[in-house]
């Protein structure tokens, strides 16, 4: 099977797996991350085949969709890639990428690194920023029944994985607890440049949000 065929089969597999996923994590998230990843990979020394496969499969292991179990998705991806007779070294690499990709609160560092992982993680982080990131945050908050904002509930610093997962704070807090931190966590130069612009857009969005919240008239 050619690399292009493997990619096409994987895309179809992921699309079917995510059929019933909620809006922030649906197939279109995967498609956007894939596009971000391809853009970054063109500028960085990363294997484009592994990057694209990694982007396609990166959320298949999301524990939110597997009753909190973080291993099910990796096993699913592994079984799928083996069924296509993809090189075992590529399959192992993809499994490492999906195991290590998700944001686990501010303090947790992972020990795995590869250029391909760096690119996919940047691509995923970019989709949590900017106009799309804002839309996803409020979509997630609505899905969870959160308030948009509550001036009496302050954002928290340096949350643990447990605090991050169990937070019921208003959606605006999520900007301070995660989204505005992302630009300084980018792995690649290209990712950092793309993040800068999306970061700036969120900063402007928040300042407008608070002006409107306080009923300040625009000039
Ligand atoms: P990832 O899959 O990148 O690890 P998550 O599953 O944590 O990200 O989040 C998916 C999307 O939902 C992201 O855009 C993220 O910003 C948003 N999100 C996650 N937690 C919250 C929250 N507490 N409030 C608002 N949005 C959130
Ligand atoms: Ni993702």
- Using the mean position of ligand 1's atoms as its centre, give its distance from the Cα of residue 24 in Å: 8
Which of 22, 23, 24, 139 maximizes ligand 1 atoms within 8 Å of its Cβ, making it the mutation to test the pocket? 24
Q: Is 140 in the pocket of ligand 1 (CB under 6 A)?
A: yes
- What residues have a C-beta under 5 A from ligand 2, the ion? 59, 124
Per-residue pLDDT reduced to its tens digit, 71-127: 888 999 999 999 999 999 999 999 999 999 865 544 456 689 999 999 999 999 999
pLDDT in tens, the chain (219 residues): 999 999 999 999 999 999 887 666 789 999 999 999 999 999 999 999 999 999 999 998 665 556 666 688 899 999 999 999 999 999 999 999 999 986 554 445 668 999 999 999 999 999 999 999 999 999 999 999 999 999 999 888 877 878 777 778 999 999 999 999 999 999 999 999 999 999 999 999 999 999 999 998 876
Ligand 1: which atom is nearest the Cα of residue 173? 24
| pLDDT score at 217 | 84
Q: Is 177 in the pocket of ligand 1 (CB under 6 A)?
A: no
Q: DSSP secondary-structure letter at 148? A: S
Q: Which ligand is nearest to the CA of 55?
A: 2
Q: Residue 10: name the closest of 50, 57, 44, 49 by CA.
A: 57
Tokens of 161: 């994985």
């Amino acid at each position: 099977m050619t690399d292009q065929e493997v990619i096409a089969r994987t895309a179809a597999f992921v699309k079917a797996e995510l059929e019933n996923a909620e809006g922030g994590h649906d197939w279109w998230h995967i498609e956007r991350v894939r596009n971000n990843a391809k853009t970054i990979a063109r500028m960085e020394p990363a294997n484009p085949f592994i990057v694209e496969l990694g982007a396609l499969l990166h959320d298949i292991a999301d524990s939110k969709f597997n009753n909190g179990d973080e291993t099910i998705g990796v096993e699913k991806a592994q079984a799928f890639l083996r069924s296509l007779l993809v090189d075992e070294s590529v399959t192992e690499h993809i499994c490492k990428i999906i195991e290590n990709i998700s944001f686990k609160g501010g303090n947790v560092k992972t020990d795995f690194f590869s250029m391909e992982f760096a690119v996919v993680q940047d691509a995923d982080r970019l989709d949590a920023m900017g106009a799309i990131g804002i839309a996803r945050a409020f979509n997630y908050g609505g899905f969870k029944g959160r308030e948009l904002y509550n001036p009496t509930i302050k954002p928290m610093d340096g949350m643990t994985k447990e605090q991050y997962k169990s937070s019921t704070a208003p959606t605006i807090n999520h900007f301070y607890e995660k989204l505005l931190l992302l630009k300084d966590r980018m792995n690649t130069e290209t990712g950092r440049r793309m993040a800068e612009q999306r970061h700036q857009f969120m900063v402007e969005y928040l300042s407008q949000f608070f002006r409107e919240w306080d009923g300040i008239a625009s000039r």
